[in-house]
Structure 1
Amino acid sequence: MRFRVTAAALGAAILLGASAPAYAATDPAGAPSEVRFSTARGDAPKLHPGVYGTTAPTGDTERYAAITRPRGGAVTVAIFGSVDAKITTSDGNTTCSSSSVSLSNSETGYTFVYVDGAQDERQSYQSDDCKSATDLILQIKADDSSSSSSSSSTTSGGPLQLAVTVEPRIEHLGSPSPKSEQDEIKAPSKSNGASRALSDQLFAPTSLTPGSYRVDLVPGQLAVARVRVGWGQRLAASVDAPRNGSNFAPAESLELNITAFSPQWAPVGGGSGSQLLSKDSATEETAGTYTAPVNAANRTLGYGDTGDVGTNSAQWTTVAGWYYLVVQLGASDAGAKVSTTKLPARLNLAVTGSPTPGPSYVGTDGKAVAAPPATELSRGGHNDSGSGSATVLRVAGSALVIALAAGVVALLLRRRA
């Protein structure tokens, strides 16, 4: 599979101040937050936790933005659009970031770069300069590695969308989830679920609670939902299509995909997540995915320590809050034309496991701050009737902020020829 990203204005970046109530999670609306990257590191604009829209560089031009992280903290940047990206020290002399791109097979139009606060299995090596650095630079450059027409608009100065998160240092990380708790799980399919219209906007997903929902899927169009998952819990999701009893048969063969993302927009789903729907067949097929338990210590998991979910996915199932499901129908053969007739389907969501306490974070005063009770960790927006626009996760008085906001992105999944 590959991801192609086009078009897009992103929504508001949200940053809670020191006086914000503990554990707050809200869904404010706002204007898109556009940022102009600079051509000089010394003039780089500051990126706070949130989402941004910008324009991809052209040619060999490098462009820069600045990110500040708390000492020992972590920074992540998810970029939708074809671009080369890395995080460096403020002088640009040392690259600090690692990249985790684990969607499926090969993909374009998505980059995930990060700097962990401590050396662990997720980022096994850090130079001394990077360990101590609190002022960082996000450097982007045109991606010339792909000559396909699907990325030409981005590499020639098209739009980019970025989601930036910052997490403070964690004390008493604890033990990661054991391998025995990372086996495949499935979301039950119930035929009496309510009908819901799913958002077609990546950063304005439909908020759902666990259960089954009758939905319609349009080939070539996103269907995006989100569900809250607490510390110690797991998410399972599946899509049944064509929905049984609908007597619907697609006019062409289609590929059905479902992908799970963490609150940082890191891919975290295990399983293949895809299924072939045969032309002129009304036989229901199911594509499914699932996560590891949400555990901050999962970042220490190494290869061989994870079960069916897979190492890359488990290492990023480390933050409680909104988890995202992106569903897509596409042509089974690259370049083939498909109709835009709605296909009846069913989206199934399950959150398993009892909530547990989260980790302890170190606040700006250097003292450990316990995470809030799991039942209060990420409140609000459970029963949105429309598309939620953002989430902010704040742990007690610490500086943990994970913010995502409303916008429009077209994310098309296609099989590489």
Structure 2
Amino acid sequence: MRFRALAAALGAAVLLGSGVPASAETQPSTTPPSIKLSTARGDAPQLQPGLHQTTAPTGQTEHYAAITRPKEGSVTVAIFGSVNAEITTKDGESDCSSDVSLNNDVTGYTFVYVDPPNSERQSYQPDKCAYATDLLLVLKGSDDSDSSSSSSSEPAKGPLQIAVTVEPKLEKVGSPSPKDQQKDITAPSKSTDGQTTLSDKLIEPTTLAPGSYAVDLKPGKLAVARVRVGWGQRLAASVDAPRNGSNFAPPQSLDLAVVAFSPQWAPVDGSDSTYLYKEESTEKKATISTAPVNPGNRQASYDDAGDVGSNDLTWTTVAGWYYLVVRVSPSEEGEKVTTDKLPARVNIAVEGSASDGPAYVAADGSAQAAPPANEMSQGGETGSGSSTGTILRVVGSVLVIAVAAGVVTLLLRRRA
């Protein structure tokens, strides 16, 4: 399987549709420990679960890091930035990873993974990869001379941040959520008291509980929130703008978009967007909803999908923090932002009662305790403060996020 090039990195811009990029800071307040990746496979340093920082490869240079995969466990890698990535066997001879296929066109984002053998989610895997535990993360620089690259951004410069987690073998995977549990649901709009400020930092999202929040969205900037979703629960979110009662009519036409990500930063909703007309104050709504959080969703096929697309369904498999990214931009490509702020309402609903999580199995076949809830995702079980210092710890997978220092871009195009 080929290297997959990335056009941008997580942080500087989320671009849903046309318009100017939206920016967000991504540098944590404390610098993660540095690790020097190798240019030789034989002495690739071991990446333990947690956050690391390293130098980005350039040109045709390849950088290597070793990852230990639990026997018959899963590994996923999400990368944001103009670098190529794959997960291979230790000798580099077999590419073990597959790509996530998205319902909406996405440039500048890749999500590769290695599942256990006989996985429905990963329908093909080379024989050498099926039971391999010693794997190699390969990062390669991207430049204009790379004819195989689909990257549309400049090569990554400065340090990369890498966060790593792994998932052990499940004792029982179970079945996907039935279609009647995947029907679209909408978070209701309710009256709000006061004003809420949403973070523009993807690694420090604002923590929200179910309810409605009056916010001011800034065109050209991200608004980032996180919501706790347990096993068996569904997330629904909607954004209303211009907020009814604000009597605000934007001086230019705008695109309003919202997208949701799992604790692994895998897309889980397909995204939604709406068009706001120039000098019109009529409230419009963008909505998303997920399938129930169910480890069996990773076994879903096309025929199992309901209103939630099959690709999004297969990644609603881990309880923890789910992320909402809202973005407003001028609807005309290249148009200058003339709207200072857009009054809006963010609505959050978590449907269903939380249930117990799955059981895990150790390499020798004995029962293995699940990691504690505060290691399931970024920021702990119920914490409401900054998420800095703990990046995307997900029981469900290995997640690697490479973030070009300073600002980076994730380009999402709305559905055709």
Whether TM exceeds 0.5 here: the answer is: yes
Indicate how the Cα distance of structure 1 residues 413 and 189 shifts in structure 2: closer, same or farther if over 3 A, else same: farther
Residues 130-153 of structure 1 deviation map (CA, whole Å, 9 limit, x = unaligned): 1121111111223443474xx115
Matched residues in 2 for 1:411 and 1:348: separation?
Answer: 26
Partner of residue 59, structure 2: 59
Residues 123-177 of structure 1 deviation map (CA, whole Å, 9 limit, x = unaligned): 01122211121111111223443474xx1153xx455444432100001222221
Matched residues in 2 for 1:45 and 1:167: separation?
Answer: 20
Residues 352-384 of structure 1 deviation map (CA, whole Å, 9 limit, x = unaligned): 012222211013553124659999988956462
Partner of residue 168, structure 2: 168
Please say if residues 251 and 339 of structure 2, whose CA atoms lie closer than 8 Å, have aligned partners that are also in contact: no
What percent identity do the matched residue pairs reach? 59
Any stretches of 5+ residues in structure 2 without a counterpart? 1-5, 13-24
Q: Which amino acid aligns with 2:337?
A: V
SS of the residue 1:236 aligns to: strand
Partner of residue 207, structure 1: 207
Map 1:29-108 onto structure 2 (within 5 A). 30-102=30-102, 104-108=104-108
Partner of residue 122, structure 2: 123
Please say if residues 103 and 267 of structure 1, whose CA atoms lie closer than 8 Å, have aligned partners that are also in contact: no
- Give the deviation of 1:401 after TM superposition: 8.5
Aligned residues: 389
Map 1:16-415 onto structure 2 (within 5 A). 30-102=30-102, 104-108=104-108, 110-143=109-142, 144=146, 145-146=149-150, 148=152, 151-154=153-156, 157=157, 160-270=160-270, 272-339=271-338, 341-363=340-362, 366-369=365-368, 382=382, 384=384, 386-389=385-388, 390=390, 409-411=407-409, 413=411
Indicate how the Cα distance of structure 1 residues 64 and 370 shifts in structure 2: closer, same or farther if over 3 A, else same: closer
- Give the deviation of 1:300 after TM superposition: 0.4
SS of the residue 1:47 aligns to: coil
Matched residues in 1 for 2:84 and 2:230: separation?
Answer: 33
Q: Which amino acid aligns with 2:114?
A: V
Indicate how the Cα distance of structure 1 residues 254 and 55 shifts in structure 2: closer, same or farther if over 3 A, else same: farther
Q: Which amino acid aligns with 2:154?
A: S
Indicate how the Cα distance of structure 1 residues 147 and 81 shifts in structure 2: closer, same or farther if over 3 A, else same: closer
Map 1:4-19 onto structure 2 (within 5 A). 4-5=8-9, 10-11=27-28
SS of the residue 1:304 aligns to: helix
- Give the deviation of 1:264 after TM superposition: 0.8
Please say if residues 47 and 67 of structure 2, whose CA atoms lie closer than 8 Å, have aligned partners that are also in contact: yes
Indicate how the Cα distance of structure 1 residues 47 and 334 shifts in structure 2: closer, same or farther if over 3 A, else same: farther
Please provide the CA RMSD for this pair: 3.3
Q: Which amino acid aligns with 1:97?
A: S
Matched residues in 1 for 2:282 and 2:180: separation?
Answer: 34
Any stretches of 5+ residues in structure 1 without a counterpart? 12-28
Partner of residue 3, structure 2: none
SS of the residue 2:332 aligns to: coil
Matched residues in 2 for 1:193 and 1:102: separation?
Answer: 37
- Give the deviation of 1:413 after TM superposition: 4.7
Please say if residues 207 and 388 of structure 1, whose CA atoms lie closer than 8 Å, have aligned partners that are also in contact: no
SS of the residue 1:313 aligns to: helix
Matched residues in 2 for 1:214 and 1:73: separation?
Answer: 42
Matched residues in 1 for 2:373 and 2:150: separation?
Answer: 44
Partner of residue 22, structure 1: none
Indicate how the Cα distance of structure 1 residues 383 and 132 shifts in structure 2: closer, same or farther if over 3 A, else same: closer
Matched residues in 2 for 1:405 and 1:69: separation?
Answer: 19
Of residues 98-107 and 227-236 in structure 1, the stretch that sits farther from structure 2 once superposed is 98-107
- Give the deviation of 1:45 after TM superposition: 2.2
Indicate how the Cα distance of structure 1 residues 324 and 112 shifts in structure 2: closer, same or farther if over 3 A, else same: same
Q: Which amino acid aligns with 2:284?
A: E
Of residues 193-202 and 61-70 in structure 1, the stretch that sits farther from structure 2 once superposed is 193-202
Indicate how the Cα distance of structure 1 residues 138 and 165 shifts in structure 2: closer, same or farther if over 3 A, else same: same
Please say if residues 81 and 159 of structure 1, whose CA atoms lie closer than 8 Å, have aligned partners that are also in contact: no
Indicate how the Cα distance of structure 1 residues 111 and 227 shifts in structure 2: closer, same or farther if over 3 A, else same: same
Please say if residues 361 and 370 of structure 1, whose CA atoms lie closer than 8 Å, have aligned partners that are also in contact: yes
- Give the deviation of 1:324 after TM superposition: 0.7
Q: Which amino acid aligns with 2:212?
A: S
SS of the residue 1:312 aligns to: helix
Matched residues in 2 for 1:375 and 1:51: separation?
Answer: 15
- Give the deviation of 1:85 after TM superposition: 0.9
SS of the residue 1:297 aligns to: helix
Indicate how the Cα distance of structure 1 residues 242 and 382 shifts in structure 2: closer, same or farther if over 3 A, else same: farther
- Give the deviation of 1:237 after TM superposition: 0.8
Q: Which amino acid aligns with 1:76?
A: T
Residues 232-264 of structure 1 deviation map (CA, whole Å, 9 limit, x = unaligned): 110011111111111112221111111111111
Of residues 218-227 and 33-42 in structure 1, the stretch that sits farther from structure 2 once superposed is 33-42
TM-score relative to the length of structure 2: 0.83
- Give the deviation of 1:117 after TM superposition: 2.2
TM-score relative to the length of structure 1: 0.83
Which has more strand, going by share of residues?
Answer: 1
